[in-house]
Structure 1
């Protein structure tokens, strides 16, 4: 089995890569999705976040107010570290379970989609570390114009992540996410073909790159 770590700066194109890899037959473990699951109402993670940050991060319906929480942690490094200490161990445990399920099902390529792999993870734990790159001004424009995030908050989110050089040091594969979706997907297809050569039983979709 190939264990792949996938990361990249916010709005660099990582989601495009993850989606294409899933289409080609990889099992993609989405750490953002897991981070939402482990703090759903009624979970220990939810209780820990509310205890740490107070009722201000809870909506009237009882869910976590993610916008309010983001407003706190993306401008306060200590608060961000406090949140990470609650959420990250729960996410890692959930990711391990997903990988075990994939292996039990005979899957040969498991991609761990981790936005903060370099900042909080262990790149050496993976057979390959794929980093998706795009210039900071491109990513800022995508956040502001494409996602409707206020420019000040968008800049804070960019600043909260590792720099490009830090990610490059960890990378075994660099993908250019600055262009079109099609350009990025073509790079993924070429990468998949190389992985299929290493793991011929890569699972559903193996060998379909370029379709």
Structure 2
């Protein structure tokens, strides 16, 4: 069983992912793989410098995320160009990690894909889509509490992600993570994990 896990910023998706990992799922973190490609020495750094210019590479040799984020928000075409560099690298490393998880006996692979709905290509690669959802006000409050971002910045990030309604429409299963205790969330995750073969 291949499960695509997604949710908006601040939804609790990372917590759900960790619970699934503890229940024995093989976990493929597409976001972490993507970040590794844009870290110092990452496979995407050379192609990004060629396509966007050396000033998009920070002094430490990693992608200048703030500069790129601003550029992508201002220029939608830039997002497609960046994805054309990063997505093939993420796909190859994800495939390698899947083989490794299967070799270790995983019966369920969970792909943590923040942009699952936006990318369009992921839906064909998974058997089920699990969406972790909560109210937009809850998302903003959680992200403001855990980071130095202002509410307006969080709203801008949310606006760049797939609309909540579109995520819910793409879902085969939804965890509504609003007002739940960790124990209640764990119970929902365990119930779903059973349906995933864990």
Partner SS, residue 86 of structure 1: helix
Alpha-carbon spacing, 1:186–1:95, altered in 2? closer, same or farther (3 Å): same
Q: CA deviation at 1:193?
A: 2.4
Tell me which moved more, 103-112 or 15-24: 103-112
What is the aligned partner in structure 2 of residue 77 from structure 1?
76
What is the aligned partner in structure 2 of residue 92 from structure 1?
91
Determine the C-alpha separation between the residues in 2 that align with 1:166 and 1:4. Answer: 18
Aligned residues: 196
What is the aligned partner in structure 2 of residue 192 from structure 1?
193
After TM superposition, the score normalised by the length of structure 2 is 0.89
Unaligned runs of 5+ in 1: 197-201, 203-211
Alpha-carbon spacing, 1:80–1:151, altered in 2? closer, same or farther (3 Å): farther
Q: CA deviation at 1:42?
A: 3.2
What is the aligned partner in structure 2 of residue 101 from structure 1?
100
Q: CA deviation at 1:38?
A: 1.9
What is the aligned partner in structure 1 of residue 143 from structure 2?
143
What is the aligned partner in structure 1 of residue 37 from structure 2?
38
Q: Does the 8 A contact of 1:116 with 1:161 survive in 2? A: yes
Determine the C-alpha separation between the residues in 2 that align with 1:75 and 1:136. Answer: 24
What is the aligned partner in structure 1 of residue 176 from structure 2?
176
Q: Does the 8 A contact of 1:9 with 1:133 survive in 2? A: yes
Unaligned runs of 5+ in 2: none
Determine the C-alpha separation between the residues in 1 that align with 2:156 and 2:77. Answer: 14
What is the aligned partner in structure 1 of residue 6 from structure 2?
7
Q: CA deviation at 1:181?
A: 5.1
After TM superposition, the score normalised by the length of structure 1 is 0.84
Partner SS, residue 111 of structure 1: strand
Q: Does the 8 A contact of 1:74 with 1:157 survive in 2? A: no
Tell me which moved more, 3-12 or 151-160: 151-160
Determine the C-alpha separation between the residues in 2 that align with 1:69 and 1:29. Answer: 25
What is the aligned partner in structure 1 of residue 57 from structure 2?
58
Alpha-carbon spacing, 1:181–1:193, altered in 2? closer, same or farther (3 Å): same
Partner SS, residue 115 of structure 1: coil
| Corresponding position: 1:22 with 2:35 | no
Alpha-carbon spacing, 1:45–1:138, altered in 2? closer, same or farther (3 Å): same
Partner SS, residue 9 of structure 2: coil
Deviations 1:104-135 (Å, cap 9, x if unpaired)? 22211110000001110332332211011111
What is the aligned partner in structure 1 of residue 116 from structure 2?
117
Q: CA deviation at 1:34?
A: 0.2
Tell me which moved more, 156-165 or 173-182: 173-182
Alpha-carbon spacing, 1:137–1:167, altered in 2? closer, same or farther (3 Å): same
- Alpha-carbon RMSD: 1.8
